[in-house]
Structures are given as structure tokens and as C-alpha cells.
Amino acid sequence: MSSWNSREAMTMGRDRILQICALAWDTLLQARRRWVLISLFILATLVLAFYAFAVSVERGGVDSEQLKVTFPFAHLASEMSPESFAHGMVMFVLGTNTFLGLFFFILAFAGFIPESIQKGSADLLLSKPVPRWLVISVKMVSISLIASLIASYFFFGALVIVWAKSGYFAGEMIPAFLLSILLFQPMVPLMALVGVASRSTPLAVVASIGAYIISALAFGAKRVDFSFTYEWIGGMMKGLYYGFPQLVGMQQSILAKVGEGRSSFETEPFIQSMILCAVYFALAIIIFQRKDYTS
């Protein structure tokens, strides 16, 4: 009896792994059909090429330990240490990944889940003997992994270019990059939540960008301690601050840690955003479990 149960458990485990692989592969094919992978790869490569050719670096000058850095497009030149040059360039890349990358991420991936549950696509996807919670979970995880791989290509490509130019490998910036990956995580379940509730890509895009704008307004209000004349305004801003991911707070913490060389940084935006990430994730699964997408 125990042997039969063991074989049954192994069969179920193997089937579950195959289901996960099939769903992940379907998401990857979806990214290929939407030209997301190739578009973001080309965009990142073009930016890296600009970094590589827009800055000219020569060793020597007044001080043999310094680098002579020239920006031909702006007709600017200065001398700096290899470390300063590497930090400045990687900081610029990290800022690009942290700010512009967030919007490219939203535009590229907001439509994945709404597209998967449109009439026709939902009939095919949900007709398979796969639990609904697994479908939405693997979709979200796959989106996060694809976005993280593209961001990693961009960041580490820049790190190598800067290393080749200056001879200094800014490995101390890697933890800040890993923290910037967390910035994208609350957006995935938020887009999924709006997607499964509405099946609308435009609404998922608007809701995601709106969450960023609200986080910026709430973060600004928090900086002045919600000191409003009318208490209801302060209460509303507090609700916005704690009800949405602290995207701007996360951005500020990451860049402040790198730019100012802080050994520690504010953890509250990350903790709160990850809690909300779990809440959005749970709500998306609950709605997806109960809603009919095949009629």
C-alpha cells in the first residue's frame, strides 16, 4: 500500500513539474509572439552601445593614475579616478534601469495575463487539467523571471563595458541592482490582479502607471509628515501611502545607498511593498479561481 502511494505521489509530482514547464514555455512563446524579448533586447543593446561609444576613456594625463574621460557628443572632458568613473557610469545605468526600466516593464508585460484569458485563449488554456492557481502563479513568476533576465543583461553588460574602459570592476554595485529587481515585483501581481478582474490590457497599463504616480504623491506627502491643514487630507494621503507599493521610496533608497555610499538604507518601502505584493497575488488568485472566462 505504501509503495503504491509512493508511486502515485511521484507521478503527481512529475505531472506537476511538466505542467509548470508547459506554462512557463507558453509564457515565453507569448513574449516571442509579442516581440517583447527581441524588442527589449535590442533596446538594451542600443543603450549599451551608446554607453560604449559615447564616452572615450584614456589613461594618463596630469596624473598617471587618473583617467581622461571625454564625451565627444557634448564636447566635455574631465579627469577622474577609475573608481569614480565606474561608479558614475554604473550609477547612471542603475538609474536608467530603476526609473525608465519600470515604465518599459509595464508597457511590455501588462498585456500578458489579459491576453491569456481572452475568449478563445481562455478556452484553450483552462481546458487543460491544470489548477487555476498554478496557471496564474506560473504566469506571474515567468513574467518576473523574463524581466529580471533582461534587466540583468542590461546591468551586467554595462558593468563589463565600464570595466573594459576603466579597469575597475564595480562589483559593489551588484547588491543595489538586486534590490532594484525587487522594484518590479509588486507590479507583476498588481497587473495580474487588474488583468484577471477586467481582461483589459489598457486598464492594466493605466492602473500600473497610476500606482506609480500615487506612490510618488504619497511619498512626497510623507516627506512633509502629512502636515495638512485638514486632517481628512492627511488621512487620505496616509491611506494612499500604505495602500500602494512604495515604488518611489524604493527607488530613492536604492539610489541613495549607491550615490551617498550609505552602509544601510530605509527598509520600510521594501517591506511594505512586498507585503502588498503578497496581498495582490492572493487577490489575483482568488478572482481567477472564481471568475468564468470561457463564456
pLDDT digits (tens, 9 = 90+) for 29-52: 888 887 888 888 888 898 888 888
User: With 60 as the cut, is the pLDDT of residue 22 above it?
Assistant: yes
More confident residue, 24 or 12: 24
What local confidence, expressed as pLDDT, does residue 256 receive? 76
Say if residue 103's pLDDT is above 60. Answer: yes
pLDDT value at residue 251: 83
Structure confidence at residue 120 (pLDDT): 62
* Helices within the chain (DSSP H only): 2-33, 36-54, 82-98, 100-109, 112-116, 121-126, 132-166, 174-184, 187-198, 201-223, 231-243, 247-259, 268-290
List Cβ<8 Å contacts ≥24 apart for 193-196: 193/280, 193/283, 193/284, 193/287, 195/110, 195/112, 195/113, 195/114, 195/117, 195/284, 196/113, 196/117, 196/136, 196/284, 196/287, 196/288, 196/291
Look at residue 108 and tell me whether its pLDDT is greater than 60.
yes
- pTM for the structure as a whole: 0.83
* 3-class secondary structure, 281: helix
Confidence of residue 280 (pLDDT cuts 50, 70, 90): very high
Residue positions counted in the chain: 295
**The predicted structure's pLDDT at residue 255:** 77
* 134-143, 212-221, 252-261: the lowest-pLDDT one: 252-261
Q: What is the mean pLDDT of residues 101-114?
A: 86
Chain mean pLDDT for the chain: 79
Instruction: Encode pLDDT of 216-259 as tens digits.
Output: 877 776 665 555 555 666 566 666 667 788 888 888 888 776 65
Res 259: pLDDT: 59
Contact indicator for 238, 226 with CB cutoff of 8 Å: yes
Q: Is the pLDDT of residue 72 over 60?
A: yes
Of 70-79, 208-217, 234-243, 260-269, the range with the highest mean pLDDT is: 208-217
What is the rounded distance in angstroms from the CA atom of residue 271 to the CA atom of residue 267? Answer: 6
DSSP state of 35: T
Residues pairing with 70 in the sheet: 56, 77
pLDDT at residue 193, rounded to an integer: 92
